[in-house]
Structure 1
Amino acid sequence: MAGLDSGLTVPVWLAEDDLGCIICHGLLAWPVTLPCGHSFCRGCLKRLWGAGPSWSCPTCREGSAQPLQLRKNTLLQDLAIKYSRAVGEEEGAAGQTPSPAPGPAPQPPGRAAPQSVTAPRNITEVGQELAKLAEQLVDIVRSLQSQTQLPDSGPDNKLNIPGTADHSLASPKLVASGTTEKRMRDILHDLEDIRGKLQENFLGKECLEEQRQVKILESPPSTSCLQTDQGRLASCLVRGFISPTFDLRSLSCSLEVSEDCRKVTVSYFQQPYSWSRDRFMTCQVFCSQAFSSGQHYWEVDTQHCSHWAVGVASWEMSRDQILGRTRDSSCLEWKGTSQLSVWHMVKETVLGSEKPKVVGIYLDLDLGKLAFYSVADQEKLLWECTVPASSSLHPAFWLYGLHPGNFLTIRPVRA
């Protein structure tokens, strides 16, 4: 074994077949050794066994009626890693597949040749898997949270003491349940934060690489006719004022909408919506209306939501992505940490620390422009940018999902 430590040269007695898994015919990955002495990839063995009811060795059939504890064989793992590195260095030095080393025993007849070593996955693929795992964890915690949800008031919530007026003591059960609920909210908050960071840092990496190769055409948030000429602003907005409605096909299972489809709320419970490839995995939703030409303006009341994004996107936007982190979506985002940003062409620009109570979105597809306004008291231009006219755009919304009960409302058309 000392020979392995002195370098990465493959020992003459070691062949890839000696470190192979008979299930996948590849080099051992996270190898585990059963009581009978045979070793396999941990993932291959778990998939082969499935749900039982018997757990036996694929080679000798020695098994058990109970699931076995699979522990990593660190020696085999180290050998597999060093073998893979040594083969890679030899192939790189020779510029071709190396010749077999002299002396190894010939491959037994009838045994399938192991596949070549799979190249390591890039960081984007790993990030995508981590983001999907975080999404599953969020769903699990939300499900547990819904199962332990207690009513706000009721006979079980208080212990009334006879002979007293307007005095009550919280029951121990309620205190314990409240503590559990708080822990779940904290866990959910942390998981949502991890998921958001993973999606921002990994799922958008490919788009960020493309962005470096493409010149971004965008207008700075400077003076414009819509900001300086209040009369013209009012005229433009009145002509194009609409009240779009939320599209139930794209609605995330973490959201619910009002009967008139103009109010979207973060739900306390996962909604049993039927599966659809158009449905978002995160707390996002599109509007049914699609715009490919003309001028359109709508307003969103954001006062009752702690973390949100509003903007536009094409219907083809990936349902596991976040608004603004793709090349076919743009948005204004309030982070809930006193930071207002705009996301455009997978690029974030921080605008300030003041949260707009009502956001106006103006889309002029004839000129290829998108503008965001703060319109609670008076119209104030926050940002203006260029948008492509290659596909139809839908109003799009993201509610962060950390606080059930948060909601956004599409304001009605002005009289």
Structure 2
Amino acid sequence: MAGLDAGPAIPVWLAEDDLGCIICHELLAWPATLPCGHSFCRGCLKGLWGAGRHWSCPTCREGAAQPLQLRKNTMLQDLADKYSLAARELEGPSPAPGPAPGPRRRPAQLPALSDGVDLSLASPKLTSSTPEGKMRDILHDLEGIQEKLQENFTWKEALEEQTPVELQESPSSSSCPLPDRSHLAPERTSSFARWAINPTFDLGSLSCSLEVSKDCRTVTVAHCPQPYPWSNDRFASCQALCSQALSSGQKYWEVDTQRCSHWAVGVACWEMRRDQILGRTRDSWCVEWKGASRLSAWHMATETVLGSDRPGVVGIWLDLEEGKLAFYSVADQAKLLYEGPVSASVPLHPAFWLYGLYPGNSLTIRQVNV
């Protein structure tokens, strides 16, 4: 463990989303990293693969011809353990004796670690016998791990308000220029009204981790699995499609994302495999907010980083005549986030993904302002 004179403060950027397993939607336990680079709980992978002959990544579908040897990613395990310990220290002493909670259940949020706060580590007044001192020691340990994970987390500077969002290039991301804005839909929100639709969530495709409102326009991460009837159309992870099949013309709808910490919205073919993730397939497109100041567009498992500003309401413009899909940040006016080509030989459906670690998170399809 580093000494008290460790130097300048560490910018603590770690969020629980970064340590979650997309299969069980909990903190990684005995993390195993596949050859493609994606990590999951070993038990979750074994349960997903079962006795089948398809040993592929649940995220990108990269597979192998024979069973993979799963080895523990000790760095991720160490990081998950320290994160869990830090959360328990912030909670304070338990009111009654009992076993310490394990890393798989998150009893509390950790705002000090997820909000990018700089915590000073050099104060001589803190001792390890105080909660503040224990937190300082934990953060010293995170310093070494930070250097190893730095390549996976990139700080994005705030973009100037008077210019469009620029697509920023990273080593693992594709980059494309913004299109000529004169060929896009009108920028005023009210100008979209003539193309507006009011899609509703399809109950047959809904993951058992999700529940919908009575009007089928709000989808929420459930606190416990829902007893939906089994169906081949039901997603394995926290995803859902809308019932409306869009096959021609121009369509526009808006999604309120303010009550969800990590989400993706876009379109997908009904034939999208139910064990795959939105934007990681040939037949799905989306814009995703990672909950760590990172907004990206995804298609065919290729990420295009868009910026660090979080849109509270996302407008989706689908022009099936021109083969274009555009996403807007909607406020008083619609600000272009991303536009790209879209192609499908079958109809497209509005599609949604809610990261499943936070029960109560929700997305709402809202009425378009006229």
Change (3 A) 1:222 1:125: closer
1:125 counterpart residue number:
63
Instruction: Find out whether 1:311 has 2:266 as its counterpart.
Output: yes
Residue 221 of structure 1 and its aligned partner are, at CA, apart by: 2.3
Compute the displacement of 1:222 (Å): 3.2
Partner-residue secondary structure (3-state), 1:184: coil
2:22 paired residue number: none
For the pair 1:414 / 2:369, whether they are aligned, the reply is yes
Equivalent residue number for residue 288 of structure 2: 333
Alpha-carbon shift at residue 376 of structure 1 (Å) = 2.5
Q: Is the 8 A contact 1:220 1:384 kept in 2?
A: no
Q: Using a 3 Å threshold, how does the CA distance of structure 1 residues 226 and 412 change in structure 2: closer, same or farther?
A: farther
Structure 2 residue aligned with 1:252: 207
Contact 1:243/1:298 (CA < 8 Å) preserved in 2?
yes
Q: Does the C-alpha gap of structure 1 residues 296 and 129 become closer, same or farther in structure 2, counting only changes over 3 Å?
A: farther
1:385–1:171 distance in 2 versus 1, CA, 3 Å:
closer
Offset of 1:223 from its aligned partner? 3.4
Q: Helix, strand or coil: the match of 2:364?
A: strand
Partner of 2:181: 224
Per the TM alignment, residue 224 of structure 1 is displaced from its structure 2 partner at its CA by: 1.4
Distance of aligned partners of 1:270 and 1:367 in 2 relative to their CA distance in 1, 3 Å threshold: same
Q: CA deviation at 1:389?
A: 4.0
> What does 1:73-88 align with in structure 2 at a 5 Å threshold?
none
Alignment identity in percent?
62
Instruction: Tell me, yes or no, if the aligned pair for 1:311 and 1:332 is still in contact at 8 Å.
Output: yes
User: Structure 1 residues 360-369 or 121-130, which shifts more?
Assistant: 121-130
Q: 1:184 aligns with which of 100, 105, 119?
A: 105
Matching of residues 102-181 of structure 1 within 5 Å: 124-126=62-64, 172-173=95-96, 180=101
How far apart, in 2, do the equivalents of 1:345 and 1:183 lie? 30
CA-CA distance at 1:228 after TM superposition: 8.9
Do 1:227 and 1:379's aligned partners in 2 also have CA atoms closer than 8 Å? Answer: no
Match of 1:225, SS state, is helix
Higher RCO, 1 vs 2 (CA within 8 Å, ≥6 residues apart) = 2
Q: Does 1:295 align with 2:250?
A: yes
8 A Cα contact 2:269 2:344, kept in partner:
no
Higher Cα radius of gyration? 1
Residue identity in the other structure for 2:63:
E
Once the 2 structures are TM-superposed, how far is the Cα of residue 126 of structure 1 from its aligned partner?
Answer: 4.8
Within 2, Cα distance between the matches of 1:182 and 1:127? Answer: 33
Shift of 1:391: 1.2
Aligned residue in 1 for 2:79: none
Any conservation in 1 of the 2:240–2:352 contact (CA below 8 Å)?
A: yes
1:359 aligns with 2:280: no
The Cα shift of 1:125 comes to 3.3
1:307–1:122 Cα change, 3 Å: closer
1:390 to 1:273, Cα distance in 2 relative to 1, 3 A: same
In structure 2, the residue matched to 1:343 is 298
SS in 1 for 2:63: helix
Give 1:412 shift.
1.6
Distance 1:295 1:302 in 2: 23
Distance 1:184 1:402 in 2: 10
Q: Does residue 404 of the first structure (1) align with residue 327 of the second (2)?
A: no
3-state secondary structure, aligned to 1:185: coil
In the alignment, is the contact (CA less than 8 A) between 2:283 and 2:344 conserved in 1?
Answer: no
Aligned pairs, how many? 227
Structural mapping, 1:188-207, within 5 Å: none
Residues 104-148 of structure 1: per-residue CA shift (max 9 Å, x gap)? xxxxxxxxxxxxxxxxx8994359978xxxxxxxxxxxxxxxxxx
Residue in structure 1 matched with residue 131 of structure 2 by the alignment:
none
| Larger proportion of helix | 1
SS in 1 for 2:230: coil
TM-score by length of structure 1 reads 0.49
The code of the aligned residue for 2:181 comes to S
Gapped regions of structure 1 (runs ≥ 5): 1-120, 131-169, 190-217
Q: Given that residues 187 and 335 in structure 2 are in contact (C-alpha distance below 8 angstroms), is that contact kept between their aligned partners in structure 1? A: no
Which letter maps to 1:373?
A: Y
Equivalent pair of 2:190/2:369 in contact (CA under 8 Å): no
Q: What is the root-mean-square deviation in Å for CA atoms of aligned residues?
A: 3.5
Q: CA deviation at 1:297?
A: 0.3
Partner Cα distance (1:347, 1:273) in 2: 33
Structure 2: state its 5+ residue gaps: 1-54, 69-92, 111-174
Q: Output the TM-score relative to the length of structure 2.
A: 0.55
Q: Give distance in 1, aligned partners of 2:66 and 2:202.
A: 27
Give the aligned residue type for 1:184. R
Q: d(CA) in 2 for partners of 1:292 and 1:404?
A: 34
